[in-house]
Amino acid sequence: MKLSKRIITMSLLLFVIPACATVPFSGRSQLDLIPQQTMLATSFSQYDEFLKQNKISSDKQKTEQVRNVGRRIQAAVEDYFREKNMTSVISGYSWEFNLVENDEINAWCMPGGKVVVYSGILPITKNDGGLAVVMGHEIAHAVAKHGNERMSQALMAQLGGVALNVAMQDKPAETRMLWTAAYGAGTQVGVLLPFSRLHESEADQLGLIFMAMAGYDPETAVDFWSRMASKQGGKTMPEFLSTHPSDDTRISKIKAMLPEAKKYYKKRN
């Protein structure tokens, strides 16, 4: 029995040790057990399934706003990784931006640039700049592979470290639930796996750079997160805040990040 446990442990270590990636910008090593091709194929499938089960907004003006801001952030992300000679990070991406009718204060981005913004967050974003803060931040989570990291950790902890395609075949319901939790594509409080403070800091920093490169003033982020923080005063914490802590400490850190982000600011006429 002890020998069997030792063999299993050694097998898991051999599986995990080479399965590491590096977070863009910060250089931090992270657990990444899922091949990019498998991740993207699953992402595209899950995204399409989500859109079938949720109401896409019929508001043409707001939908176009989401897509316009999204396309500008997309271009900034592509420029950023091209300049860093790191285009492999977003290889195979098939960008898509959709506004969904839902009162939840939420937004998320799956691997491959599959973005959803909930209509409930628009009264807080208020304008293109506020929306750029949200979309830049969520896209930063995706390109930094924070969801991949959480999914890998969940596969290890709950499904014994099996491959994603095996998990989808053998335990589809459980795996879909893990996927939803890992990438924030849920609408019920308590379903999502919280991002760590480290993840949030990395997404804040990259998101500010992306929005600045897209031509949005990164200082807008301070006003947006201040509005989000005010939402914590109510009895129910908004879904967006359940995984995105918004407080004075965070805002202070964002202010400290602004000088670096402004180096990338490409003001548009």
Q: Which of 126, 147, 143, 131 is nearest to 67 (CA)?
A: 131
Supply 259's token pair: 């000088």
Q: Which pLDDT value is given to residue 268?
A: 61
User: How buried is 1 (Cβ within 10 angstroms: 0-12 exposed, 13-18 middle, 19+ buried)?
Assistant: exposed
Of residues 125 and 20, more confidence is placed in 125
What gap in Å lies between CA 150 and CA 154, rounded to an integer? 6
pTM listed for this prediction: 0.81
Of residues 53 and 17, more confidence is placed in 53
pLDDT in tens, 201-219: 899 999 999 999 999 999 9
Annotated catalytic residues are 138
Strands 96-100 and 20-22: unpaired
pLDDT in tens, 150-205: 877 777 766 555 566 666 666 667 767 777 777 777 544 334 455 577 888 899 99
DSSP state of 244: S
**Helix pair angle (128-143, 220-230), 10° resolution:** 90
Mean pLDDT, the chain, rounded, equals: 80
- Angle at alpha carbon of residue 179, lines to 124 and 121, rounded to 5°: 5
Considering Cα of 256, then 261, then 267, then 268, what sign does the dihedral take? negative
Q: Which pLDDT value is given to residue 189?
A: 37
